[in-house]
Structure 1
Amino acid sequence: MSKNTLFFRATLSFILLAFLSCNSNQDECELDEEILAQDLNLKITRLEDDFFSAKTKEDFLFLFEEHPEFTEEYLQPELYANLDSLASSLLVVHQDSSMKDLYEAVKSKRGDISEVNKNLENAFKYIKHYYPEFEVPKVYTFVSGFNSDLFITDDLIVIGIDYFLPTDHPFQPDLPRYMAERYDLPYLVPMIVTALSSRFNEVDLQDKSLLAEMIYYGKAYHFAKAVLPCTPEGLIIGYTDEQVADSYSNEEYIWAHFVENELLYETNPFEIQKYLGEAPSTDAISTKAPGRLGRWLGWNIVDDYQISQEASLQDIMEEKDAELIFRLSGYRPRGIE
């Protein structure tokens, strides 16, 4: 029997039960009203409207002055001779017919992002709940010409909203299909929150093992789930519902592969990339297994660590010792008694 057959021997009944369980949990999930009651209001600024309305170099110079963080951090004026040069370059770009068509597509298909705004505001409230010192960054959308999907610093988030057109729209980023399918609005807030987790995710820089990388990603996804408690796992890690269900049904097989091949303490970057890197599948396990399975497995280990140690989110994110997290997690694949 081939490894492909072994991996996807999940029964239809298991998958159906997994779907029903996920949907049931999602329907029953409620956000914490006390957390949501915080005095925090987010308004995403649609900068593409202002920039595409600009007709002269002076208009752009005015916008630079109006949005200094965006100008300094995102537009990087130091790459140009001066602000006049930057303004002239943007004027040419924004008068290009293909860029105008892209902007019109964004206005037509992504004119309303109120749900994104609300979900991101709620996520910021949850981060504030866990980390009161968290300063809410300014959030902008922009039509980047498929040059930048997300730009995130401590005080600024720029969403390349053209990346998040409907997946069946003719305008698409130059990405493999398996990645492009994740560039849809439901994935946007989980992407941002997972990226923000890095500022709280303490690591041992001396540990170059696969286990350390798995735990790093596991902590990132655990953080995202804590901040977005009603968000399905698939939207956080970028799997379809079927991929999530199949991975759980084959968790014992996945774990056996890691153990039998003594992978946890592997330090070869090329070997590590097989289990953590972007790919349509984790071929080392099965060509039918979703990519990045090492990250998914790390998430399960971190979840078990939280349960076994009754650890707070802050404790988990501050723990640098990946080996300690693994050892104290008592991790066992689901289905093993």
Structure 2
Amino acid sequence: MKAKLLLIFSLSFYLFSCNGQNSNIPAAVTSAPPVKINRFDKDLLKLVETDDSTLQTKLIREYPQMLDILGKGILNMKSPAMPGFFEKLVNYYSEPTLKGLYTDAIRQYDDASQIEQTLGNGFAWLKTCFPSMQIPAIYMHVSGFNQNVLVGDSLLSISIDKYLGEGYPLYQDFFYDFQRRLMTPEQIAPDYLAGWLMSEYPFEGNENVLLDRMVYEGKIKYLIHQAFPEFSPESLMGYTEASYNWCKENESNLWKAIIERKHLYTPDQMTTGKYFDNIPCTFLASDAPGNLGSWLGWQIIDKYMKETNSTPEALMRNNDCQAILTESKYKP
């Protein structure tokens, strides 16, 4: 049973809807109390830099669940109580390149107050939409491009070394430009909310069926944009403005290609996976950006919410993807 984190909201709202027609979409929140971010990342770096064994006790006392999740996810060690746990942890983060990345991440996010405010607004909006939803305790960690999102019992953490800006020098060696567009500070709050939504409403369809994944990813994108209307659709997708405009101009052709190739329902893991990679979808068109499955799913959900006037909670509880497509009357 997840422990509740009770938040008392002093909210101001403004009306926003990308379609302007669904009266059941709550207004975006603009002045909720900020959400406190527990700085596990800073405290762990102190141990890495000093190797002071007295800090181990402090970490165990203040961050037991983070240590447990991080140990299992990165170190392949079941518990901080295991012999050699902290030695392995310090050795992992002492690798020179990773330690430099860690230091840069802490320097850039020494002050996380703006992120805390944005998260306060976002989680306040989620609480309005999902009154029974438990709001997690929020943390930051560094994984070395490993476990980006950590989710536990009432716990959510983001690996901030993934958000140092698309021009960060080390990224040039490991990531393509279309991947780096999602590695910016602006993506942190949306990724936090997306991670929690996916934890609270896990995917229940057939991962090999394009429609199932398309609708699920579309739900997440749609709700994140409703929570954060100040972020442009292209930035949430990691697209350039030109790529986003290309998608809008070619939406009907993309949908037609999917139908003609019988990709929508055929349970083929390899084919379906191509629609959700950030690698450009050149198998559909030479100018196509990546992750078209999520983008098209977003368009379907946007249309569905216009047509049905559904609530966000009803949307997330509806796992009948075919019914959603039918009721959306999506015909680009």
TM-score range, shorter chain: 0.7 to 0.9
Identify which range, 43-52 or 74-83, moves more after superposition.
Answer: 74-83
With over 3 angstroms needed to count, the CA separation of the structure-2 counterparts of 1:82 and 1:202, relative to structure 1, is closer
How far apart, CA to CA, are the structure 1 residues paired with 2:186 and 2:156? 17
- Which residue in the other structure is 1:73 paired with? 69
Identify which range, 57-66 or 315-324, moves more after superposition.
Answer: 57-66
RMSD: 2.7
What pairs with 1:149-228 in structure 2 (closer than 5 Å)? 149-172=148-171, 174-201=174-201, 205=205, 209-228=209-228
> What's the secondary structure of 1:79's corresponding residue?
coil
- Which residue in the other structure is 2:8 paired with? none
| TM-score (norm. length: structure 1) | 0.79
Identify which range, 165-174 or 215-224, moves more after superposition.
Answer: 165-174
Q: Which runs of 5+ in 1 are unaligned?
A: 1-24, 26-30
Among 40, 53, 57, the alignment partner of 1:61 is 57
**Is this contact kept in 1: 2:208–2:272, CA < 8 A?**
no
Residue identity in the other structure for 1:198: M
- Which residue in the other structure is 2:9 paired with? none
- Which residue in the other structure is 2:42 paired with? 49
How many angstroms does 1:201 deviate by? 3.9
How far apart, CA to CA, are the structure 1 residues paired with 2:330 and 2:96? 55
Residue identity in the other structure for 2:126: I
With over 3 angstroms needed to count, the CA separation of the structure-2 counterparts of 1:63 and 1:204, relative to structure 1, is closer
Residue identity in the other structure for 2:321: A
Q: Which runs of 5+ in 2 are unaligned?
A: 1-19, 21-25
CA deviation profile, 1:285-334 (whole Å, cap 9, x unmatched): 1121011212211111111111111111112111111111111111122x
- Which residue in the other structure is 1:7 paired with? none
- Which residue in the other structure is 1:117 paired with? 116
- Which residue in the other structure is 1:132 paired with? 131
**Is this contact kept in 1: 2:40–2:63, CA < 8 A?**
no
How far apart, CA to CA, are the structure 1 residues paired with 2:249 and 2:330? 16
With over 3 angstroms needed to count, the CA separation of the structure-2 counterparts of 1:308 and 1:148, relative to structure 1, is same
Residue identity in the other structure for 2:41: E
Identify which range, 182-191 or 54-63, moves more after superposition.
Answer: 54-63
Residue identity in the other structure for 2:63: H
Max radius of gyration: which structure?
Answer: 1
| TM-score (norm. length: structure 2) | 0.81
Q: Percent identity?
A: 23
- Which residue in the other structure is 1:22 paired with? none
**Is this contact kept in 1: 2:65–2:152, CA < 8 A?**
no
How far apart, CA to CA, are the structure 2 residues paired with 1:202 and 1:102? 31
With over 3 angstroms needed to count, the CA separation of the structure-2 counterparts of 1:202 and 1:256, relative to structure 1, is same
Displaced runs of 4 or more, over 6 A: none
**Is this contact kept in 1: 2:157–2:192, CA < 8 A?**
no
Aligned length, in residue pairs: 301
**Is this contact kept in 2: 1:197–1:223, CA < 8 A?**
no
How far apart, CA to CA, are the structure 1 residues paired with 2:225 and 2:245? 17
> What's the secondary structure of 2:139's corresponding residue?
strand
How many angstroms does 1:200 deviate by? 4.8
- Which residue in the other structure is 1:16 paired with? none
In proportion to residue count, which structure has more helix?
1
Residue identity in the other structure for 2:67: T
What pairs with 1:1-337 in structure 2 (closer than 5 Å)? 32=27, 35=29, 41-54=34-47, 55=50, 56-76=52-72, 78-79=77-78, 82-172=81-171, 174-201=174-201, 205=205, 209-274=209-274, 276-333=275-332
With over 3 angstroms needed to count, the CA separation of the structure-2 counterparts of 1:168 and 1:159, relative to structure 1, is same
